[in-house]
Amino acid sequence: MNEILARFGKYIWPTITFVAGLFVKHIFELYRNRIAKLQYSISTSFLGASGHDNYFGKVQVLYNDSLVENLYLCTINLVNTSNRDFKDIEITVWTDVNAIILVSSALKAGTINALTLTHQYVTECQNITAQTAKLVWSRRPYVIPVLNRDDKVTFSCLVTNPNKGEPAVYLNCEHPGLKIEPTFVKPQIFWGENQSVAALYGLLVTAIASVFIVNCIQSKAIVALIIFLLAAFLLIPGVIALKIVKRIRKLIR
Specify the pLDDT at position 42: 92
CATH-assigned architecture of domain 36-176: Sandwich (2.60)
Q: Which H helix or E strand runs over 91?
A: strand 86-95
Q: How far apart are CA 173 and CA 171, in angstroms?
A: 7
The sign of the dihedral angle between the CA atoms of 83, 154, 120, 137 is: positive
**Strands 116-117 and 70-79, sheet pairing:** unpaired
Specify the pLDDT at position 190: 66
Residues 6+ apart with CB under 8 A from 197: 238, 242
DSSP secondary-structure letter at 33? T
Specify the pLDDT at position 193: 77
Instruction: Decide if pLDDT at 129 tops 80.
Output: yes
State pLDDT tens for residues 89-128: 999 999 988 899 999 999 999 888 899 999 999 999 999 8
Instruction: Decide if pLDDT at 232 tops 70.
Output: no
Q: Where are the domains of the chain?
A: 2-33+188-252, 36-176
**Strands 36-49 and 70-79, sheet pairing:** antiparallel
Average pLDDT over residues 9-34: 60
The pLDDT-based confidence of 5 (bands split at 50, 70, 90) is very low
The pLDDT-based confidence of 88 (bands split at 50, 70, 90) is very high
